[in-house]
Each structure stands twice: as structure tokens, then as C-alpha cells.
Structure 1
Amino acid sequence: MTVHQAPPVPDVFDPRQHATGVPYDAYRVLRDHHPVARQDEPEVLGWPAGPGFWAVTRHADVVRVLKDSATYSSYIGATQIRDPDPDDLPFIRRMMLNQDPPGHGRLRRLVSRAFTPGRIERFAKVAKDRARTLLAHALDEARASDGTVDLVTTVTDDYALLNLADLLGVPEADRRLLLHWTQRVIGYQDPDEAGPQVLDPAGKPVNPRSPAMLRDMFGYAQQLAAHKRRYPDDDVMTTLAHDAELSRAELEMFFFLLTVAGNDTVRSAAPGGLLTLAQHPEAYDRLRNGRVELTPAVDELLRWHPPVLTFRRTAAQDTELAGRRIRAGDKVVVFHASANRDERVFADPDRLDLSRTPNPHVSFGDGPHVCMGAHFARLQLRVLYREALRVLPELRTAGAPERLVSNFINGLKSLPIRIT
């Protein structure tokens, strides 16, 4: 009898490895042999070491964790792999993202009043005009130089940022603040995005989500809310500013969540989808010639390039998952990108199928914390891709894309393409 020894557990924690691409081969090893696996959490890029965590990589287990907030809590230790400073935890728990039912449900109902379907749908024409303008400028820039242009810096960064600013009601003069805050909070593992580290008296990096680091953002949120009370408009901040049920702290946290998560979802997904189409020219041609519907194509591109790589929960009680005993207090991290390639759920998961139906990807999460801006994100992606298909007969890269150093966000810092 032959005994097959399982391969060693690969590291999927170190954010630096994501600079060369999502580690799908490592994910497959984990899914096949170690579906719930211990991961070390060493010091990286100056950020202190942690106690380690359980990596959850199969689709069914990821969905189970995301749906079961009684067992796997967002509140106990928040939702990032790195543990927050204990002094900051009460502050961080105010955010809807870091709450469990019933508190989470109350906050979600409040903010959902601002995200009305009518408001989102009315936004479609604004997004279309913006996509058309940005793409035209990108083409002009390419033709005025060597025929190449970076779609991230000329199109997708501004597209996501300006769409969000319009929805929130941020004045034009202040819109670059949104990008600055997003880079600081989301890209903190990448020196290109985060900028110089802020160190505490002990010489350790200060968490960009700490109260001290968010003071400028919160001050701006209160100024904007006061402006919207005096000069109301058809935007999200006007709705939030006039909601008597929202406390001052809750309004600040909503502004933080919408600014960072609302911007970076599309900021990551849009160039990721365009890169995927550039890497699959036959799929781009089928989409451009109408042989594939755009709606299912958007979801397949989201499956292929999810904007978020991981989210963390904390075990609220002793439990078992995929045969592994998990103790109360253990960190449990779900890997969205791995779940989206699980052969147990998706037929031929490493093949891009723009007509894939059904497509139960978890790029927007699942359970009570499923992304409430998913409809808005899909609308923006449909509009942008439709305009790109209209003006770009081919989508060809002009060099390797530059990826974000992050084990959280599946971002691109540059996507050079060649215009023909």
C-alpha cells in the first residue's frame, strides 16, 4: 500500500508575494490538502508579528464562516488579519464592517436609506459620460507619445474616485482627499501607496486605521455634513447628515467606510477586469462583437479578479471547521480569491468563461456583511467595460502590470496598454 504524504503548508500571508500575482498554486495546495490551515504571522515590512491564524480556502467553508456571525465574529477582533492595538479596538468596533448582528443590522438599515436603487440608476449616465471622457483622454495621451498609456493612472483611478465623490456629494475641490485617504488606509503595506510610515514612540508603525491617523478624515466628514445640512442635495452625505438616528461617531465611521471601501472596490476590480480581458484576447473579441452578454461577463471578471483577497473573523467559541479544532479567540481568515477558483464549485475554474452561469463567486462576500455597494459597483464596471469595448478594437498590454503589495486588496498600481 502506497501512503501519499500531504505537501507542506504554503505561506499565503506575506503581502510581498502578491506583488508578483495572486498565489493561486498555493491556494490549490491548501484547498486540496489543508483546507483550514495554520499560517504564521511574522513581522513584515516593519509591522509587528502576530499569533498566526487559520486560512480558510474552500468555497463551502468560506461561505460557512461568512454566514455564521455567531461563531465567527467581526466584532471581537475586527476584520483585518493584523490585530488592532487594544486601545484602538473600541473605536474600530464602531464601524459597521466590524460589527455583528443585531448592531450591524441596525447600521446597515440606516445607511441603506442613502443607497436607494433610484439614486444608483440615475447615476448611470454620469458614469457613462465620465468613462467616455477618461478613455478619450487616455487615447489622446497615447497617440501623443509612443502609443502606450497607463489605464490605472489615466482612467480607472479617477473613474472610481470621481464616481464615489459624486455619489457622496464631495465638492470637486476636495476630491483628491478621497484618494489620499484610500491609499493611506488600504495600501499601508505598500510603500508606494502609503508614503512614509508614521512611528509611535517605541518606533513601531502606527496603524493607519487608528483614531489618531483618521482625525483629519473625521474632521472633514463633520464639515461636509454641516455643509449638507445648510445646502442639501441629492447625494448620500445629505441623507446621512439629516438622519436623526445617526450619532456623530456613526456618521464619521460611515464616511470612512464609504470613502475607503466604496472607492477601492471599483478601483481594484476595474483594472483587474481590463487586465483579464487583455490576457484573453479571444474573450475580448467575443464580448466586443456581442457574442457574450456583458452582465454575466462582469461577474466572471469579478470571479477571476476579486477586489478583496481576504477578510478576517475571530472565533467566538470553540468550534470545528473542515476537521480542524478552532479555539475561541483564534483568528480565522477567509480567502475569497481561493474560493473563487474552487473546483468543487466551479467547473474548469481556471478557464475564463464570460457566460458562466451560475456563478456563485464570493467577490462581494456573503452573509450579513455582503457588500451593500455591489449593485453600484457592477453598474460602474458594466459602463466602463462597455465604453472600453466601443473605443478599443484590441486590448493589448504594453508591459507587465504593477501590483499592490497587499494580502488584503487585489490592486493594480499600473496597467500599461498599447493603442493600435
Structure 2
Amino acid sequence: MSNAPQYDIDVAAFWADPYPDLARMRREAPIAFVPQLGSTVFTRRDDIFTQEKRIDVFSSHQPNGLMNTLMGHNMMRKDGEAHMNERAAMFPAVSPRTVRASWLTRFQAHADRILEELAPRGTADLVKAFALPLSAECLKDITGLTNMRFADMDAWSQAMIDGIANYNGNKQVEARCHAATAGIDAAIDDMIPVLTKHPDSSILSVLLAAGQPIDSVRANVKLAISGGQNEPRDAISGATWALLTHPEQLSLVRDGRAQWIDAFEEYARWIAPIGMSPRRVAKPWSYGGVDFEPEDRGFFMFGSANRDEACFAEPDRFDITRDTGKSIAFGAGPHYCAGAFASRAMVADVALPSLFARLQGLRLDRAEPVRIGGWAFRGLLTLKVAWDGS
């Protein structure tokens, strides 16, 4: 165990709102051991930015980690050449060129269809009625698992991210995760002969064409689902909520003084959908006055880094005009999110402009307060809104 100063948290309160504890840690113990999480956490942006790149010390290879145990050994839990080989095999499915050429028109078609069905209702929970199905339908195309229902894509993604954040060892959470991965394996098995005969630009297709071992194919498709559903889903609903609660910011976009991508990037900084990345200490190391021992576990708290007062003025304020260049919402080192460009396109190029254009007079339903939660993964649980009809 590292000799970092100990910082205790109330787990339920931390799940509801981690930012007060994270701010206090940045001030008083920027590298702290949190016994309730069984990990030494890094909370300052510059510490995370530099140490995440030290894969010789803070390794992503975690043979006994929750992600490996529950989802298989994917590229996020590999370092060096092993990581880069699998990343290169997947890249053709999520490259900027492929997103523009293959996915953007499909994203837009999904958004238009969902909004056309939604518009006459005049009221909805946008998390369930728009953000969830749009993210899932887009992810079905990207992964190649078009044989899944969008509801299963979301449920299985949520079960996996709950599983890999299950540091308290809840057996029911673990069981749901196993059921989800079994469902995904069955969907992959169904689609392999289809995509072998009719290859396309999807992740499953390009991994098969690259000759990747089937265990790696399965693990990396599950990786794409675990992050590729909740991150854009939570960014769509969260950025919508942020703009509705900051009408002066929304006006900047509508008047052409800011862009939808500015709203997306600022939301991802303000409330990072992926708030933490775990690492295994690979060798003795000293940093920031803390001595680390092999097999210690460390958490890089992206959600804290993006509210670091040393890098962002008034970091708790949502401001789409700020410079988000130091944000590490998608990571900082060699494990920078491979799907970042697809996520930006889905949210900023399609979801936000389509939503505000189609649902005129979009506003919060004040009768049902917004609920938000999570620290490893954080997002809105509900977003009840109303608009002026079709």
C-alpha cells in the first residue's frame, strides 16, 4: 500500500456528488489513499496528465482487475505494443474519415426518426426518450451488432459499467454484468457469419478482417459498448440540461457566437461522463511525496482534473466560452479514447442541433427535478422536459 495520506469518504454521498470531496483533496491531499475505494487517487490535473503517460509505472495491464475478469482482456487493459496493435486494428471503424463517410448520415437518420416520433408528445424524459435510444442505435451501427435491440444495448452497457465500478463487491451487480456479457457474446456469434460474408466499416467487421483472435474481438467489442453507450448518452442529456439551465449559454449558440461543439466540450469538462481510470502500480515509484509499491491500485480522477482550479478559472461554473484545451475528459496518454471523434460527431453535429431545432420551446419540467449520480461514470438519471408540440 502507498504511504499517501488517508482520506475517508461517505460512499453514498460521493456517488451523489463527488465534487466537494474532490475539491478538498486537491487542496489538502492531492494524492490520497481512500480506504472505501481501496485505492490511491490522483485528483490534480497536471499530476494525472504526466503520470498517465508513465505506463512503465502506472500500468493499464491489470490481470485481476474487474474489467478483465468481467469483460475479457481488451486493449484498454494492455500497454505498449499489445495495446497499439489492437487500437490500430479497431481504428478504421472510428477514424475521423469513417465517421464522416459512414456514420454521420446514419446518426442523423436515427435522430430524425426518434425526434419525429417524439415531437407530438409534448413532454418526455429525454434521457429515456432521446439520449438513450439515439446513442444505442448509433452504437449498434458502429459495433456491427445491428441484431440487438437498442434497449438491450443500453441495459448491457450499463450492467458492464456498473460491474467494472463494483469495487464494493456487490454480487447482484456482478451477476447482471455476467448476464450482459453473455448476451453480447451471443449477438457477436450471430453477426460473425453475416459480416464475414458482407464486411462493412463496423468494429466487429474490421477486427475480424484484421485477423484478431476471437477472444480479443469479443473483449474489444464489449469495451466499445461499455464506454460507447453511456458517454454519448450522458453527454447528450447532460449538455441539454446544462444549456436549459444556462439560457444565456444557449443563446450564444443560437446567435452564432458559439458552436454546439463548444457546449459539448465544456459539458464533458464540467461533468466528465467517464470520471475515473484505474491503474496498477508496476514497480516501486515515488511521486508527489508518496511512495508507491508494486500492485498498489491507483485511480486517475478525470472528473477532478477537469475542475482543477490551477487550470480552470471558476471550474464549477458551466461556461461554453472558456478554453477547454486542458480538459482530459477523454484521457491524456496512450489510452486516449479511440471513439472520441465519433462521440463528438454524435453529440455536437447531430444530437444537440437536431433536438433544439425540432422541439420548439424546449424547457425543463419543474415538477420533476433532475436526478444525477455517479463518480466513476457520471450522468443524468432523469431529464423531464416539455415543448410546444409538433
TM-score normalized by the length of structure 1: 0.82
Task: Show the 5 A alignment for 1:76-225.
Answer: 76=62, 83-84=65-66, 89=69, 94-122=73-101, 123-142=103-122, 148-171=123-146, 174-188=149-163, 206=174, 214-225=181-192
* Structure 2 residues without counterparts, runs of 5 or longer: none
Aligned to 1:259: 225
Rounded to whole Å, the distance in 2 between the matches of 1:257 and 1:173 is 16
1:412 and 2:380 matched: yes
How far is the alpha carbon of 1:173 from its aligned partner?
5.5
Deviations 1:336-375 (A, max 9, x none): 1110011111122223221222522111011010001000
* Structure 1 residues without counterparts, runs of 5 or longer: 1-6, 42-49, 143-147, 192-196, 200-204
Judge conservation of contact 2:14–2:375 (CA < 8 Å) in 1. yes
Aligned length: 377
Deviations 1:108-145 (A, max 9, x none): 11111332433210322222232233234333222xxx
Aligned to 2:43: 57
Residue type of the partner of 1:68? R
Rounded to whole Å, the distance in 2 between the matches of 1:336 and 1:371 is 13
Task: Show the 5 A alignment for 1:5-404.
Answer: 9-11=7-9, 14=11, 16-17=12-13, 20=16, 22-41=17-36, 52-76=38-62, 83-84=65-66, 89=69, 94-122=73-101, 123-142=103-122, 148-171=123-146, 174-188=149-163, 206=174, 214-244=181-211, 246-382=212-348, 383-392=350-359, 394-398=361-365, 399-404=368-373
Deviations 1:276-322 (A, max 9, x none): 11221111122122221233332112111211111111111121232
How far is the alpha carbon of 1:252 from its aligned partner?
1.0
Distance 1:281 1:189, change over 3 A: farther
Distance 1:259 1:9, change over 3 A: closer
Judge conservation of contact 1:18–1:403 (CA < 8 Å) in 2. no
CA RMSD of aligned residues (A): 2.7
Judge conservation of contact 2:371–2:380 (CA < 8 Å) in 1. yes
How far is the alpha carbon of 1:386 from its aligned partner?
1.2
Judge conservation of contact 2:276–2:299 (CA < 8 Å) in 1. yes
Rounded to whole Å, the distance in 1 between the matches of 2:155 and 2:319 is 36
Judge conservation of contact 1:341–1:350 (CA < 8 Å) in 2. yes
How far is the alpha carbon of 1:95 from its aligned partner?
0.9
Rounded to whole Å, the distance in 2 between the matches of 1:360 and 1:394 is 34
Identity of aligned residues (%): 23
Deviations 1:225-249 (A, max 9, x none): 12211233343322222222x0111
SS at match of 1:186: helix
Deviations 1:187-242 (A, max 9, x none): 34999xxxxx866xxxxx646556x8633322321321122112333433222222
Q: Which has the higher helix share?
A: 2
Rounded to whole Å, the distance in 2 between the matches of 1:329 and 1:187 is 23
SS at match of 1:68: coil
Aligned to 1:194: none
Aligned to 1:46: none
How far is the alpha carbon of 1:54 from its aligned partner?
0.8
Judge conservation of contact 1:10–1:30 (CA < 8 Å) in 2. no
SS at match of 1:37: strand
Residue type of the partner of 2:246? H
TM-score normalized by the length of structure 2: 0.88
Rounded to whole Å, the distance in 2 between the matches of 1:357 and 1:112 is 28
Judge conservation of contact 2:18–2:375 (CA < 8 Å) in 1. no
How far is the alpha carbon of 1:158 from its aligned partner?
0.5
Judge conservation of contact 2:330–2:337 (CA < 8 Å) in 1. yes
Rounded to whole Å, the distance in 2 between the matches of 1:348 and 1:206 is 39
